[in-house]
Structure 1
Amino acid sequence: MKFYIACIQKLSELVQETSGVENKFLACPTLRVYEASDFDFLTVSQMNAEDRLSTENISMQFNSLSSSKTYWDVDATNSLFDLYKERLENLKLRTQDDVSQGNESAQELLHNKDGSPSEALINYTKTLDEYDQILDEHREFLSEIDVEASEPEELLNSRKWDVLQKQLALFVANWKLNAHKEEIEKALERINKLTDFDSFLALKNTIENRLRNAEITGIKSLSEFSKLQIFPTDFNKSDLSWSSLEITNAEVDTIFKRAQKALKGFNEDLLTFDYNEDFIEKITASYCIITVKRPWLNKNIFDSEFIDGNTKNKTFTYANKILLIKDIRVILKEDLTPKEKKEIDGNSIIKFGPIFMKNQAFINATSKKTFIKAITSKEIYTKAYAPKINKKLAKISSGLILSKPVKKGSLVKHKKAKPILHRQKFATIKQKNSAQKVQIKSTKSRNNPKFFERQMRLKQTKPLQSVQLSQKLQLTAKTLDLKNLMIYNIQKSPKTITSRVHFIIKDQLGENALYKVEISIKDQRTNYFKEVETDQDGQITINLTESNYEITLRKDGFKELTFIESIKKDANKTIGKQLEPHEVFYESYFLVGIIGDQISL
C-alpha cells in the first residue's frame, strides 16, 4: 500500500516544516473516523446533553497518550487528563520550614527589630543607585558613538570605553568589600524563595481547581473549564482551514522509500505490505491541522525545586496538533478497460490502506478522469469494519487470498507490540499439490475469524491464485490482476442468483431528483457492505443477492434515512424514497497522525 504510506509521509513532511524540530510527527496506524457533527460543540453558546457527550468523547480520544516513540493512537487506558491529575495529587512537596531555612538570619541582616531597614540594607540600596548611574553613563557613551567616525576618533572612543569598563569593575569590587553585596543578595534570595514557594502553591491550587472543574463538562463552552480546546473552531464548517494534497504515480516510490526510514517501527505490517498500484494515476485529498490546547496543563510544574524527592516516571507523547484528511480520491489511469471499470462497480471490497472505498467508478465532469472515493459514513465503519466482517467472510471462505507460498508445517509469525488492527493467532498452513488448493489449520478451528486480517497483510511475492471452495459465497482475488490485494472481488457460485435493485431518490418537498445521495448497504446476514451514489437523475442500479439489507441514505441538507429492505432471489426491485430537507452536514474526516510533545508522568 505504497500510496497510503506515501500520503502519511508527505503529510508528515508538510506539517513538520511548520511545527519545528522540537515537536515530532507520529502517525496513527489504525482507522479513526470522525464526522463534522462530532465537533458541533465547538461553536455552540451553551452545550446540551449531546454536546457534552461529544466533548467528553473527543477529549478522551485527543487526550490519549502514547508510550511509543514511533506511533500514536487513541488509548482510553492512557489518558493525559487522568494521569496528570493523579501525579499532581501525589506530589510530595518540601515543607515551608525547609524552604524558609536560614530565613531568620536573613531577616536580621536586612531589618532591625522594629522592622525598619538595617544600615547594611540602606548602604546596599544607596550603592545600587550609584551602580545604576554608572550604567547610564555607559549607555549614554554608546549612544553618542558615530559609526562614521575617523580612525583617530575611533581610537579615542576605544580608550574612553576601556576607562569606563575599569571604573565599573573597581566600583563593583569596592561594593563587594565595603557594602556586604553578596551577603545582602543571598539574604534577599532566601526571602524571595519563600515568596516563590507561595507562588508555586498558588499555581498548583489553580491547576487543581481547573482539573476539578473540567470534570464537570459543559459549565462554559470552550472556557478554562474545558478538558481541551480546539482551534480553528470552525474547521468542520469551513474549507478555509483545509489545504490540498496530491501524490502522483511518478513520485510515489521516492516518497515511500523515505517513509520506510522515517516511519520505521510505527507499523511494520503496513510498511512491508505491498501490492501493484500501477493502475493509479494519482491520489488527491484535503488535509487540516487542528491545534489542541488544554488550560489545565502546565507540565513545567513538575520541574519545580519545591518538589521533594526523585520519582521514577514514564515518558509519554501527547497531541499538540491533530492531522485530519478528507475528500480522498483515487484517480485511475486512462488505460483501464471497460471490464476493469465494471469490476469496481461489482461486489467488491475496495480498500485504500485501512480506508474502505465506494463500489463505484466516478467520472470528473471537467477532466473526464475516472476515480473512486472513500466511504465516509462513520456508522458503516463502526458496524461493519474489522472483526464483524472478517468473522463472516472467514467462515464463508476460510482459505481466502493466500498471497505467499508457505512451506509445509511453517508458521505465520506475528511481531509483538506492533499497532496492528487485531492480534493474530499462529496458524499452520499446509499446502497440497498446488497453489490452487489450500488447507488451513489453526489453533482453534478452520474458521479462525482473525485469519482474514492476517492474510490481507501478507506481502505479495507472486500473482494470486484463485481459491476454489464449495461454499455458496467466496472471496477471491481472481480478477483485475493489476489490483491484487486492493480490490477483493466477492464471487458467487454458479447457483447464486442476484437481483437488480434500482434506486430512485427524490426531494420530499419538490420531488426533484437528488444527485450524489450516498447509499450505504449492509447485508444483515454476512455484514458485507458497499456504498454507492445516485446519478444526476437521482437513480442508480446495483446487483444484490437474496438477503435482508440495512440501507442508509445521506445527503447534505437532508435528514438521514435508514430502513430495512428484503431482497428476494431473482426478483428485480425498484426502491423509491424521498428525503426530508434538514439543516445538516455529513462531512467526515480520517485521523492520520499528530504533532506531539513529551511529558513525564
Structure 2
Amino acid sequence: MKYFIAAYQKLRNIYMSQSSMENDLPMICPSLRVYENEELELLKPQSLLNDEQKKALSIIKKQNVAYELNSVPISPNFWDLNPNNALFDIYRDILDKNNLKNLEENLDQVIANKSTVLYDAKNNETKEFKAYKKYQTAHETTVNTITTHLELFDGLDTEEEKTNWNDQLVNLNNLKALSFSEWKVKGYKDIIEKELARINKISDADLYLAMAQNAKNTFNAAEKTDVISNASIHDINFIPYDFMENESGWTNMRLEKAELESLYTEAKNSNENLPSEILSIDYDESVIQAVEFDYSFVHLKRNWFNKNFMFSELFDWKETKKISDGNTISSDFKLPAITKAMMLFKNLKIILDPSITNETVNNPNQLIYFGPLILKQQLFVNKNNNQKFLKAITNVRTIKSDQLNSLTRKTETVESAKIVSAKPVVAQPATETMKANPVLYNKINVLNNVKNIKAVTPAPVQPTPVKPVTPIIATPIKIPGIFVPIKFPIPITPTGSMVQFRAFDKINNDPIYKCSISIKGTNNSRIYEIETNELGMINQLIPVGEYSVELRVDDYAVLNQNFSVVNTNPMNLDYKLQREEIKFKSFFLVGMICEKMPKIPVNQ
C-alpha cells in the first residue's frame, strides 16, 4: 500500500499544479475500482455509440457503473463507491423539496397575465396552447410506454424473446420519434416554447423560476426516457472522449524507489485527504525498485445536472439536513461535493529487486499485493534490460471467482513475519520486449491484506441502498511485504503434471505472444494466471484435478475449455484462437477529483 499511496500522491501533485480549481478536492480511492473498456463505453451518450448491439446492452448494464461514478463523498479522507449516496437520488430530492412544488402554478400565473400567444382576451387558452399540451401529453405517453417495455428485459430467458424485445424497442422508438415530430409541427412546439422563453426573461424572479424549472424538466426527462434519450440520466460525457480507444490524454510515468519513498513521506506528513488508518501502518515494500504506468485525468460531464439554480438567493431550502456549508465533507450534509474527474492508470508494472527469484514469486501459499491490487504469481523479465517485474491479475472472471475471493479472505499479515519461499514448482519466467497491452480488471476491496479489516466480497453494483465501506483498523499493523501468506495454506498436492500450454492463430498457426491464460480448479481451490512467451507457450505445474481454462488476447475471440490432470505425466495442451476485432482494456481508479460545493443555500 505504501507505494500505491506514493503513486496517488504523484498524480495528486500533477493535477493540483496544472489544472486545479479552488474547489477541487483530490481524494484517494482505498479500494480497487477497475473499469473495463466496454463498461465505460456504454456510459457514452447513444449518439456516440455506433454499434446497435452496444446500444441495446447499454440499456441494462450502464446503470451500475453510473451509480459508482456518481457516488457522492461522505468522508474528507477518501472516496469510494457508495450507492446509498448517489448524485441521482440527492439531486432528485433537492429538486422535489426546494419549494418548487408550486413552481408551475406560479409560472402559469405570470404567463396568463402577460401572454396573448397562450391566452386570448377572455383568458382562455389559445388553440395553439391547447394543441401544444395535447401533443406534449401524447409524446410523454410514448416515452412512458418505452420505460415500461425496458422493465421487461430482466424477465426474458431465450435469445428469441430478447430478439423480439429488441424489435419492439426499435418500433417504440420510431413511435416516439413520430410523436415528437407531431408535437413540433401540429403542437406549435417552437412557437409556444419561444413565447415561454420570452416571458421568463421579464424579471429576476422569472429567470430563477425558468432556470429551476428547466433543471427539473431536464432531470425528469432524463429519468423518464432513460437511455433512449441522448440526455439520459446514466450518460456521462468523458473528456477526453476517446481515452478508451487510443492514447489521447495518457502519459507514461516511471517512479524509482527514491522518488516513491519521498512521495510516501510527503503524503504521510501532509496527511491531506488520506485515511490516518492507512498512513499509520508500517509497510515494508523493499523488494519494489520502481513502478511504471500510464496515467490520465478523465473529466465527467453530466447533461442532466445543473447546480447553478441552487446558487441563487431565491433558492429556498427548509429541510433539516443542510445541503452544504462550503467546507465540510461529511454525511451531515446532503451534497458536500460531486465527482468531477477520475485519476486513472493502466499498463502497470511493478519492477522488482534483482535478487527476487521465480521461487519467491511462485509460492502457492501466498498472494501478492500492490496496494489493493492482486498480482500474478509469474515473474516477467524485460529482455532489453533484464529487469524483473510483476503484473496485476487481469481476468475479471478470476477476480470475481469464489476461489480467489476465498483466498483473499484467508490472507493474513503477521507482525515481523518472514516470508518463506515454497519449492520452485510453477511457471517459468516470461521475457518481454514491448509494453503490455491493457487488460480487464474488476473490483477487490482494499486492504484485504491488512489484519483486522473486514474483507468485502466483490459483487455487481446495484442501485439499491447499501452501507458504505469504511476502512477500520484497531491498532497499528506491520506489513511484512507485498508477499502475503494465506492464513490456511492450500495443501500442496504431491502429484502433478508439468503442463505446456500453447496458443496459436487458428488460420496460420502463428504462435500468439502475451496470451493471458486463466486456470481455475473446478474441484479444488487452485488458481493460476500466466501468459505465453514469444513462442506462444508457457509451462505450469498443475496438480491432479479438474480445471477450466480461459485464453484471451487482443484481436482474438475469448476461448474457454476444460481439461483434466489425471497423473504426473507431462502434458501438452494446444489451443487455436479465432481472429476477432476486440481489445481488452481496463483502467485502475487510483483516486477521484471531487468538486466541493459552495455554501447552499447562500442566504442561510
The reply to whether TM is greater than 0.5 is yes
1:218 and 2:227 are equivalent in the alignment: yes
Q: Say if 1:95 and 1:505 are closer, same or farther in 2 by CA, change over 3 A.
A: closer
In structure 2, what is the Cα distance between the partners aligned to 1:455 and 1:568?
45
**What is the aligned partner in structure 2 of residue 341 from structure 1?**
358
Match for residue 81 of structure 1 among 78, 82, 88: 88
User: Which structure has the larger Rg?
Assistant: 1
Give the residue type in structure 2 aligned to 1:297.
F
RMSD (Å), alpha carbons: 3.7
> Conserved in 2, the CA contact under 8 Å of 1:502 and 1:575?
yes
Match for residue 549 of structure 1 among 547, 550, 553: 547
Shift, 1:256, TM fit: 0.8
- Aligned ranges for residues 28-43 of structure 1 at < 5 Å? 28-41=29-42, 42=44, 43=48
In structure 1, what is the Cα distance between the partners aligned to 2:227 and 2:344?
25
Match for residue 204 of structure 1 among 176, 193, 212: 212
1:240 aligned counterpart, secondary structure: coil
1:579 and 2:577 are equivalent in the alignment: yes
Q: Say if 1:577 and 1:224 are closer, same or farther in 2 by CA, change over 3 A.
A: closer
1:217 aligned counterpart, secondary structure: helix
Shift, 1:496, TM fit: 2.8
* Structure 2 gaps, min length 5: 111-198, 323-332, 418-444, 455-470
Match for residue 323 of structure 1 among 343, 355, 364: 343
Shift, 1:50, TM fit: 1.0
**What is the aligned partner in structure 2 of residue 112 from structure 1?**
none
Q: Which moved more, 1:370-379 or 1:310-319?
A: 310-319
- Aligned ranges for residues 108-123 of structure 1 at < 5 Å? none
> Conserved in 1, the CA contact under 8 Å of 2:98 and 2:317?
no
Shift, 1:459, TM fit: 2.6
> Conserved in 2, the CA contact under 8 Å of 1:33 and 1:378?
no
In structure 2, what is the Cα distance between the partners aligned to 1:357 and 1:420?
14
Shift, 1:499, TM fit: 2.3
> Conserved in 1, the CA contact under 8 Å of 2:367 and 2:408?
no
In structure 2, what is the Cα distance between the partners aligned to 1:192 and 1:220?
26
In structure 2, what is the Cα distance between the partners aligned to 1:239 and 1:262?
33
Q: Say if 1:262 and 1:231 are closer, same or farther in 2 by CA, change over 3 A.
A: same
Q: Say if 1:40 and 1:224 are closer, same or farther in 2 by CA, change over 3 A.
A: closer
In structure 2, what is the Cα distance between the partners aligned to 1:540 and 1:94?
67
Write the deviation string for residues 53-109 of structure 1: whole angstroms up to 9, x where unpaired.
34323221111111111111111111101110121011115979x999xx9xxxxxx
Shift, 1:251, TM fit: 2.0
**What is the aligned partner in structure 1 of residue 2 from structure 2?**
2
Match for residue 58 of structure 2 among 41, 47, 51: 51
In structure 2, what is the Cα distance between the partners aligned to 1:327 and 1:490?
32
- Aligned ranges for residues 439-458 of structure 1 at < 5 Å? none
In structure 2, what is the Cα distance between the partners aligned to 1:576 and 1:99?
74
**What is the aligned partner in structure 2 of residue 282 from structure 1?**
290
> Conserved in 2, the CA contact under 8 Å of 1:269 and 1:420?
no
**What is the aligned partner in structure 1 of residue 76 from structure 2?**
69
Give the residue type in structure 2 aligned to 1:37.
E
**What is the aligned partner in structure 2 of residue 350 from structure 1?**
368
Write the deviation string for residues 408-464 of structure 1: whole angstroms up to 9, x where unpaired.
xxxxxxxxxx9866998799xxxxxxxxxxxxxxxxxxxxxxxxx999997338xx7
> Conserved in 2, the CA contact under 8 Å of 1:515 and 1:536?
yes
Q: Say if 1:425 and 1:349 are closer, same or farther in 2 by CA, change over 3 A.
A: closer
Shift, 1:595, TM fit: 0.9
Give the residue type in structure 1 aligned to 2:369.
K
Q: Say if 1:423 and 1:64 are closer, same or farther in 2 by CA, change over 3 A.
A: farther
2:507 aligned counterpart, secondary structure: coil
> Conserved in 2, the CA contact under 8 Å of 1:16 and 1:24?
no
Q: Say if 1:425 and 1:372 are closer, same or farther in 2 by CA, change over 3 A.
A: closer
**What is the aligned partner in structure 1 of residue 414 from structure 2?**
402
Q: Say if 1:93 and 1:537 are closer, same or farther in 2 by CA, change over 3 A.
A: closer
Q: Say if 1:402 and 1:296 are closer, same or farther in 2 by CA, change over 3 A.
A: same
Give the residue type in structure 2 aligned to 1:370.
K
- Aligned ranges for residues 433-444 of structure 1 at < 5 Å? none
- Aligned ranges for residues 255-294 of structure 1 at < 5 Å? 255-263=263-271, 266-294=274-302
**What is the aligned partner in structure 1 of residue 528 from structure 2?**
530
In structure 2, what is the Cα distance between the partners aligned to 1:12 and 1:558?
37
1:563 and 2:583 are equivalent in the alignment: no
**What is the aligned partner in structure 2 of residue 442 from structure 1?**
none
**What is the aligned partner in structure 1 of residue 478 from structure 2?**
460
> Conserved in 1, the CA contact under 8 Å of 2:26 and 2:273?
no
Write the deviation string for residues 15-57 of structure 1: whole angstroms up to 9, x where unpaired.
1222234201011110111111223333414652212334323
In structure 1, what is the Cα distance between the partners aligned to 2:500 and 2:446?
42
Shift, 1:345, TM fit: 3.7
Q: Say if 1:282 and 1:490 are closer, same or farther in 2 by CA, change over 3 A.
A: farther
* Structure 1 gaps, min length 5: 104-190, 395-399, 406-417, 428-452, 465-482
Q: Structure 2 length as normaliser, TM-score?
A: 0.66
> Conserved in 2, the CA contact under 8 Å of 1:226 and 1:295?
no
Give the residue type in structure 2 aligned to 1:381.
I
In structure 1, what is the Cα distance between the partners aligned to 2:246 and 2:492?
50
1:239 and 2:247 are equivalent in the alignment: yes
Give the residue type in structure 1 aligned to 2:265.
K
In structure 2, what is the Cα distance between the partners aligned to 1:551 and 1:192?
64
Give the residue type in structure 1 aligned to 2:517.
I
**What is the aligned partner in structure 1 of residue 433 from structure 2?**
none
- Give identity over the alignment, percent: 25
In structure 2, what is the Cα distance between the partners aligned to 1:502 and 1:520?
14
**What is the aligned partner in structure 1 of residue 158 from structure 2?**
none
**What is the aligned partner in structure 2 of residue 412 from structure 1?**
none
Q: Say if 1:497 and 1:225 are closer, same or farther in 2 by CA, change over 3 A.
A: closer
Q: Say if 1:272 and 1:569 are closer, same or farther in 2 by CA, change over 3 A.
A: farther
Q: Say if 1:491 and 1:83 are closer, same or farther in 2 by CA, change over 3 A.
A: closer
Q: Say if 1:344 and 1:95 are closer, same or farther in 2 by CA, change over 3 A.
A: closer
In structure 1, what is the Cα distance between the partners aligned to 2:537 and 2:487?
24
**What is the aligned partner in structure 2 of residue 16 from structure 1?**
16
2:248 aligned counterpart, secondary structure: helix
In structure 2, what is the Cα distance between the partners aligned to 1:454 and 1:566?
43
Give the residue type in structure 2 aligned to 1:317.
A
**What is the aligned partner in structure 1 of residue 178 from structure 2?**
none
Q: Count matched residues.
A: 446
Q: Say if 1:386 and 1:558 are closer, same or farther in 2 by CA, change over 3 A.
A: closer
Match for residue 379 of structure 1 among 397, 401, 410: 397
1:509 aligned counterpart, secondary structure: coil
Match for residue 496 of structure 2 among 498, 505, 525: 498
- Aligned ranges for residues 171-210 of structure 1 at < 5 Å? 195-210=203-218
**What is the aligned partner in structure 1 of residue 238 from structure 2?**
230
Q: Say if 1:500 and 1:491 are closer, same or farther in 2 by CA, change over 3 A.
A: farther
